[in-house]
Structure 1
Amino acid sequence: MQWGPLILLFVLMYFMMIRPQQQQQKKRQEMLNSLKVGDEIVTIGGLHGVIQAVDETNNTIRVKVASNVELTFNRSAVGTVRREK
Structure 2
Amino acid sequence: MFISNAYAQAAAGGDAPSALVSLLPLLLMFVVLWFVMIRPQLKRQKEHKAMIDALAKGDEVLTAGGLLGKVTRLGDPYIAIELADGIEVQLQRTAVAQVLPKGTIK
Structure 2 residues without counterparts, runs of 5 or longer: 1-20
- Which runs of structure 1 show a deviation greater than 2 angstroms over 4 or more consecutive aligned residues? none
How far 1:6 moved relative to its partner? 1.7
Where in structure 2 are the equivalents of 1:1-85 lying within 5 Å? 1-56=21-76, 59-84=77-102
Structure 1 residues without counterparts, runs of 5 or longer: none
CA RMSD of aligned residues (A): 1.2
Specify which structure has the bigger relative contact order, considering alpha-carbon pairs within 8 angstroms and separated by 6 or more residues.
1
Whole-angstrom distance in 1 between the partners of 2:23 and 2:86: 65
**Which protein is bigger by CA-based radius of gyration?**
2
TM-score by length of 2: 0.73
SS at match of 1:2: helix
TM-score by length of 1: 0.90
SS at match of 2:101: strand
Amino acid at match of 1:77: A
